[in-house]
Chains A and B, each alone.
Chain A
């Protein structure tokens, strides 16, 4: 169970821009989607949970433990996983290396290959590739997902996992999430703009302008989002109205 209590976050910098404003959420469902317009604060929220950012005010609890000031490493070890929206590249580190690090133990090539195959990569071709600039955006995204599979923790947060993934693989991706949900227990949180992903979520949270705009079951929220479809950004609409 993940609890955010009155979380606010401002980025350092010249003018203190408040990116998240007093967010209170508790997440216990097995599959939750977070959506909302670009710049709404979704990635920032995920980074706060992963420990990449520390909230300006408020508290984060994971299974009752206060993790607000815990390091990234300690949270990871507690069982929090985070797939980046923009995966990081490394010179010299191979796919096998990264999956091994993620698994947290020595694993054989065949085991590493299982994770790669799940995300639709022909394992033999990729296992020894470096995670450098030679990988395509979609390949990188899939490897990122494979590392989260290899970790197999109780809380996994995916930041727009579908971005850059081709249509054919998209179906398999949904199957991967369904499968994770069955085998891992715990919660999967997916940040997404895709209707088909929102469609498999139990609960949908809409973040807009740093606040929770909507929060409820899929059946409640999805029709609302689809209806307001074109008006993804309220500021733009407001401007248009004026």
Chain B
């Protein structure tokens, strides 16, 4: 790993060096390093780019890091990663993609992540996207996430895209079995001419399944954001989707929540709010000695945290 890749790793995973536990580091479209444990196997796919991550049933308190680092300009990286979380396992997976584009060409990473959680498995999945670069080349990221939760499985997904991605289309689809639950927290900040679209589609198929999809975003400059969230309640279930956005400058934000109940015992709620930073919030922080700009930063940082 070179110095640029090390900074990217720090930005997306908070890591200064190789992580603890199992990991698979992909740099510039190739495997950089990998470590497996007794309970966690990582296998390179034979038919297409990507890996299978197989976690044995009952594995507890282990983690897997799978960062992707791009530091060459003009690289279009595409990976298919499949995660199999065994029955009753309880693990954390940290993924993320960091792009440093110092050149004139477009860099892109498209990741298709599929999660298969067996009965009563628990997963915390954290994904961070970050782009930087001094060149004119654009950074594109189009992550697709497919989630299948078996009976009683629980997944918590935290995704964030805080800086430097010029264009993103993130698609997440999930199907939930009986008593399965899914919690998604997304945070997005766009600036300049960036555009971000997020598209959630959750099917609550099992009895007593429940999902909570929460998005917090800040749009600055002339950036544009579109938030689509669709929850289908096909059984006795509970679903909640929430989009909360701060709009600044000349940005544009749309929120399109859609909830569909196909069962009389489905209980679904959507909430969406878009607005600028409240003047009284700025004033309060200014009375504590912050400049208007500093106050704005604190409010935005807190909101996206």
Q: Using a CB–CB distance below 8 Å, which chain A residues touch chain B?
A: 50-52, 71-73, 76-77, 80-82, 84, 87-88, 90-94, 97-98, 101-102, 104, 130, 147, 151
Contacts and interface: CB of A to CB of B under 8 A. Distances in A.
Contacts of B281: 88, 90
A73 B286 contact: yes
Given A88-B281, A90-B281, A93-B299, A72 B304 contact: no
B287 A101 contact: no
A52 B290 CA distance: 14
Given A88-B278, A98-B288, 19 more contacts: A50-B287, A51-B286, A71-B286, A73-B292, A77-B289, A80-B287, A88-B280, A91-B216, A91-B244, A92-B301, A92-B302, A92-B304, A93-B298, A93-B299, A94-B302, A101-B288, A104-B289, A147-B288, A151-B289
B45 interface: no
B48 interface: no
B276 interface: no
A93 B284 CA distance: 13
A135 B165 CA distance: 36
A101 B297 CA distance: 12
Contact of B290 (A73, A81, A82): A73
A81 B287 contact: yes
Contacts of B304: 92
Contacts of B285: 101
A92 B277 CA distance: 13
Given A91-B244, A91-B302, A92-B304, A101 B286 contact: no
Contacts of A87: 284
Given A92-B303, A101-B285, A73 B291 contact: yes
Contacts of A151: 288-289
A102 B244 CA distance: 27
Given A73-B291, A73-B292, A91-B303, A101 B298 contact: yes
A93 B302 contact: yes
A83 to B, nearest CB: 9
Contacts of B299: 90, 93
A94 B303 CA distance: 10
A52 B289 contact: no
A82 B303 CA distance: 24
B286 A97 contact: no
B219 to A, nearest CB: 16
Contacts of A90: 281, 299, 302
A91 to B, nearest CB: 5
Nearest to A75: B287
Contacts of A88: 278, 280-281, 283-284
